Copies of this chain bind each other. A is one copy, B any other.
């Protein structure tokens, strides 16, 4: 089975997730600065989630670039990743509308952690079903420092949110900044 429809479907779902997230930025009643300021936390959480979804789309793009054919297992591992990403608008809205309260900020980390695990499962699924053909991908992933540090940082942020939501927020921002540099690992190994 070809990968074209898998890419098109994933692009569609991520494009919709990234765009319906803006519906949480509800048009306020008033037309003064006050009503705009009240939207600031929702706006900030929107920016953060937009960047995260952009990172996932970018890395997904890079990873599938190395793949030629997909198995049934890869299709489901991909749907599993999309499931967790589809929950991002909900936790983004909940965190923003509650001004980064403890529980929503912690749950935001849970969804990011589950998405990171789903991405890792998808990666392994591609490598294992390829029967050694994606040794390049396996090699690139082997030294994957960012992919190992991110879940650790989420795992720290999830309980930390109950102690200080700003620390949790700072960890989420840190991970996003770390990933903003696109996934050059694969590019580099292919170039070799």
Contacts and interface: CB of A to CB of B under 8 A. Distances in A.
A49 B89 CA distance: 18
Contacts of A54: 76, 79
Contacts of A114: none
Given A27-B90, A57-B9, A72 B16 contact: no
Query: What DSSP secondary structure best describes chain A's contact surface?
Result: helix
A151 interface: no
Interface string A148-192: 000000000000000000000000000000001110100000000
A47 B1 CA distance: 26
A128 interface: no
Residue of A50, A62, A72, A82 with highest tally of chain B CB at under 10 A: A72
B103 A33 contact: yes
Nearest to A78: B54
A75 to B, nearest CB: 6
What is the oligomeric copy number? Answer: 4
A149 to B, nearest CB: 20
Given A17-B19, A22-B90, 16 more contacts: A1-B62, A5-B61, A7-B8, A9-B14, A9-B15, A9-B57, A13-B18, A18-B82, A19-B86, A22-B86, A22-B89, A24-B27, A27-B94, A47-B83, A50-B86, A76-B182
17 contacts: A1-B65, A5-B11, A7-B8, A8-B11, A9-B11, A9-B57, A12-B15, A12-B16, A19-B20, A22-B86, A22-B87, A27-B93, A36-B107, A54-B79, A72-B181, A75-B182, A76-B182
